Amino acid sequence: MLIDCGEGTQISMKERNLPVRHIDAIAITHFHADHTAGLPGLLLSMAKADRTEPIVIYGPKGLHEMMEGVRLIARYIPFEIQEVELEKGDGFTVDHLQVTSFPLRHSVACIGYTMELKRTPKFDKEKAEANHVPLKLWGRLQKGNTVEQDGILYTPDLVLGAQRKGLKVVYATDTRPVNALAAAAEEADLLITEGMYGDTEKIEKAKLNRHMMMQEACNLAKEANVRRLWLTHYSPSMHDPYLHMEECTSIFEHTVISMDGQHIDLSYDNGENRDD
């Protein structure tokens, strides 16, 4: 899954040995050029890589109109391009990843994305035995299947324990702080959001252009009890985002001033240590 497609997308992917033909879905936040200008070239590169599978492009209202322009540039694409305009709260699935959209507040229609990897409850042997579930049915029930045997209906809840927290990543950029973002970010393992400005005198400019201050993003992350915050989407006038690192971490300790190529392997949080 790819979120947005700026003009440098393919360069970044090549640097990290990520093949373009294996992208299953592209989720667009909004239609400003710095988030969409790389789309025609990416689709053409997919075509040159002999892609034949359909690709789905998601985005806010206005996606179909934007794609008309993309098709004028990226002609003769040999695979199907499916377009899905998302309304408030609409979602989709990519493999096992459940994605939900939520509205943001920018100068144009803009949405953020919550990505969740659900985690199945742990198998409870003692519970299965106490419920007299036949041993040969354990595996199928553990996978979430309901099974009937000898006239008895066995359901997964007979062998599974309590729900376990999965993984949640929230991506939201080009926005003012809004309730929908705060709600989506609640207990997120990783929140990626913009810190357009760091100098406090830029607050009026941030409000005018519908962007977010670094300090506002840190406060939002703290209130939402996220596990980590990555700031991104800095103003070109911000010569060194790291100058604001101390102030940001004083608001929310687990803040990262992220840069190109930032990556992390996320692990499940069992509630024992939120800093694992």
The pLDDT of 211-236, averaged and rounded, is 97
- What is the separation of C-alpha 224 from the centre of its chain, rounded to a whole number of angstroms? 16
Q: pLDDT-based confidence at 271, cuts 50/70/90?
A: low
For the stretch 145-183, pLDDT in tens is 899 999 999 999 999 988 888 999 999 999 999 999 999
The residues near 72 (Cβ < 8 Å, ≥ 6 apart) are none
For the stretch 243-270, pLDDT in tens is 999 999 999 999 999 999 899 999 887 6
What pTM was estimated for this model as a whole? 0.86
- What is the separation of C-alpha 42 from the centre of its chain, rounded to a whole number of angstroms? 20
Q: How far apart are CA 221 and CA 262, in angstroms?
A: 19
* Cβ burial, residue 100 (10 Å; 0-12/13-18/19+): middle
Q: pLDDT-based confidence at 276, cuts 50/70/90?
A: very low
* Residues tagged active-site: 34
Measured in degrees and rounded to the nearest 5, phi and psi for residue 9 equal -60, -50
Q: Helices 39-48 and 63-73 sit at what angle, rounded to 10 degrees?
A: 60
Tokens of 35: 């988030």
The amino acid that residue 92 corresponds to is F
